[in-house]
Structure 1
Amino acid sequence: MVLLKLLLSIDGIGPHKIFSLLNYFKSFDNILEADLYSLLKVDGININLSQKLLNAKSKYESIKNKVENELNKLSKINARIITYWDNDYPELLKKIYYPPLIIYTKGSFTEQDKYSLAVVGTRQPTTYGKIQTEKIVHELVEKNITIVSGLARGIDTIAHKSALNSNGRTIAVIGSGLDVVYPPENYKLFNEITEKGVIITEYELGTKPDAQNFPRRNRIISGLSLGTLVIETKIDGGAMQTAAYAIDQNREVFAIPGNINVKQAEGPNKLIQRGEAKLITNAEDILQELEIKLKPLTGKNIQKPSVELTLFEEKLLQVIGTEAKHIDEIALLSSMSTSDCLVNLLTLEFKGLIKQLPGKMFVLAD
């Protein structure tokens, strides 16, 4: 923990650089003990960063004292730190592009939380938005789906409360420290969530809910979830950022259509219009779309299609299997060049056997 905090305190060192360092040196201790020559061999580590890493050793004791103080404060409020390498770090969150290497949590994760759905929207919902949020969240909770949201006013608060009122689990991702409840009127709700769910943040104790914190928070909301449901939001609302993150993370996006004359319906309607979100009217629409992800797979045989396939196409179908894979992984598993893979994948897509997802990901067609 101390060495991780030490690395994160260095300007220019983020998750990707830390992963590169660990990949080369195999442990945090080895990174700290590395010399300039060895550091320069690491991908993405230039002379400037190497020098910063060497100079950071002098901060070890102060960082250690800071961590010990932080852990004592967290213990007093019954909270804890989880790092990316800990066993109870959320599996879904590990798979996003920029996972937080440290999360502060209050409450406990359960097995059920692997099957989570984000529900997000405006701070000023219409009566229609409130009713739909309560209805759909209740239906999802009945199917043991954990509800993830951001504890903000409006749709977020309604989603959390509806989950708790239905005796379900909910996770709140906040844009402040665990000791700073925002908005303040959600203090009681905050404590209820810690009893029947989890509060998560990547921000240290004492961090105020500054505006710049919330876009970063939104990537965690979508990252913890199999999909994101947008209820109501303006076209430039924070929920649209969460939807954009979900798309980048190769997660499903759902939206409830709204009145075209209402500002709060602009976001969901635009997502549907652009084909970025699936139009849903009830929880069953979501559950059907996520059916495969909601049922742990023990293996699924790929039935031989009725159309004629080349040996290369058959091989690619077997490689893709039942879960979406990136083009680089497909090329590696099939022992084919990336260009050859793309040509054959395009043919398979024309034949309706696979579909391409954002980020050069490919999956079997439904």
Structure 2
Amino acid sequence: LFYRGNADLNTLHIINIVGTRHATPYGQDICTRFLADLSVLCPNILIVSGLAYGIDIHAHRAALQNHFKTIGVLAHGLDRIYPAEHRKTAVSMLEQGGLLTEFTSVTNPYRQNFVKRNLIVAGMSDATVVIESAAKGGALITAELAESYHRDCFAFPGRCNDEYSIGCNNLIRKNQAVLITSAEDLVKGMGWESSPKTEKTVQRELFPDLSEEEERIVKRLGKMPEGLQINTLVIDTNIPVNRMSALLFELEMKGVIRALAGGVYRLIM
């Protein structure tokens, strides 16, 4: 991959925002309000999109306006910007995010490159958010890729007879995306609610009936109020993944932890 910018691509929370290139005032308003509200609830999220017309560019600009870092994943080399009228936004993103591509310089934005670009958009994100889509389109491809990667997908609904809401409504109807109507819905769905800064590490006496392995898991989760994914817990506690799955199930049954979207587990305080 080729990258220019200053954003940490390994940041804790990453979402992509995708949608139709023919964004309506409804979709633009949703995008604007969504990112404005998200900046209050979870300001450290990295926002990813494809720098294309419509929802993509609106998401990048709203992200910049609300002080998010934002990454544009390109369907061409870093030596050019397509479409050219988005160059000013792209330059701003280099100072507040970055540009990422798998294509070498002098590569033109061929049609097939956009599908390849979507692989990166979906793959680098914890969640995909679809804001407006016709019955067919690149945003739906990104949503399908997110599902294949076992990543979370969310969609804003629209009126049943609106051309550019059909795709979102279908994702929701087929249970391929979770219906959301606000930034709060996303944050709760991902388990990214802010925890009080005064929260203390969980003490052993709070859960006296735990095994030594369970205590190791609880102790680790107690230091991460936002929760951890199972793979991280396996590495941090040195407990094999098969054993970890069984232990997490037992802890959930005991009411000690809670399973969240994205394969994240969080301590119940």
Normalized against structure 1, the TM-score is what?
0.56
Q: Which residue of 2 aligns with 1:23?
A: none
What is the alpha-carbon distance in structure 1 between the residues aligned to residue 261 and residue 4 of structure 2? 35
Q: Residue 171 in 1 paired to residue 71 in 2?
A: yes
Equivalent position to 2:27, from 109, 115, 129: 129
Paired with 1:301 and 1:208, the residues of 2 have a C-alpha distance of 58
Match for residue 264 of structure 1 among 164, 175, 182: 164
Q: Deviations over 1:129-169 (max 9, x none)?
A: 11111111222234423321100100001111112223332
In 2: Cα distance, 1:215 partner to 1:256 partner: 22
Q: Does 1:238 align with 2:143?
A: no
Larger Rg: 1
- TM normalised by structure 2 equals 0.74
RMSD over aligned Cα atoms: 4.0
Moved over 3 A (4+): 110-114, 291-304, 320-326, 333-336, 340-358, 361-366
Judged with a 3 Å threshold, the aligned counterparts in structure 2 of structure 1 residues 183 and 273 are, in CA distance, closer, same or farther, namely same
The equivalent residue for 2:2 is: 104
Could you tell me how far apart the structure 2 residues matched to 1:298 and 1:240 are?
42
Note if contact 1:355-1:365 (Cα within 8 Å) is conserved in structure 2: no
| Equivalent-residue separation in structure 2 for 1:301 and 1:120 (angstroms) | 43
Name the aligned partner's letter for residue 262 of structure 1: D
Question: Cα distance, 1:116 vs. partner?
Answer: 2.7
- The equivalences for 1:182-261 within 5 A come to 182-261=82-161
Aligned partners of 1:298, 1:174: CA distance in 2, in Å?
43
Residue aligning to 2:224: none
Matched residues in 2 for 1:357 and 1:195: separation? Answer: 32
Any stretches of 5+ residues in structure 1 without a counterpart? 1-102
Q: Are 2:225 and 1:325 equivalent residues in the alignment?
A: no
Sequence identity percentage: 33
CA distance in 2 between counterparts of 1:365 and 1:261 reads 43
- Alpha-carbon distance change, 116 to 357 in structure 1, aligned in 2, over 3 angstroms: closer
The aligned runs of 1:326-345 (5 Å cut-off) are: none
Once residues 294 and 124 of structure 1 are traced to their aligned partners in structure 2, the CA distance between those partners, rounded to angstroms, is 35
**Pick aligned residue for 1:149 from 32, 41, 49:** 49
In the alignment of these two chains, the number of paired residues is: 253
Give the corresponding residue for 1:288: 188
Structure 2 unaligned blocks of 5 or more: 222-226
Tell me how far apart the structure 2 counterparts of residues 261 and 278 of structure 1 sit (CA, whole Å): 20
Alpha carbons 2:47, 2:60 under 8 Å: kept? yes
Change beyond 3 A, Cα 1:362–1:118: closer
Shift of 1:110: 4.3
Counterpart of 2:36 in structure 1 is: 138
Q: Are 2:17 and 1:119 equivalent residues in the alignment? A: yes
One-letter code of the match for 2:230? K
Partners of 2:259 and 2:112 in 1: CA distance: 36
Q: Match of 1:159?
A: 59
* Cα pair distance change 1:301/1:325, threshold 3 Å: farther
* Pair 232,301 (structure 1): closer, same or farther in 2 beyond 3 Å: farther
Instruction: Determine the C-alpha separation between the residues in 1 that align with 2:76 and 2:39.
Output: 27
Distance 1:115 1:364, change over 3 A: closer
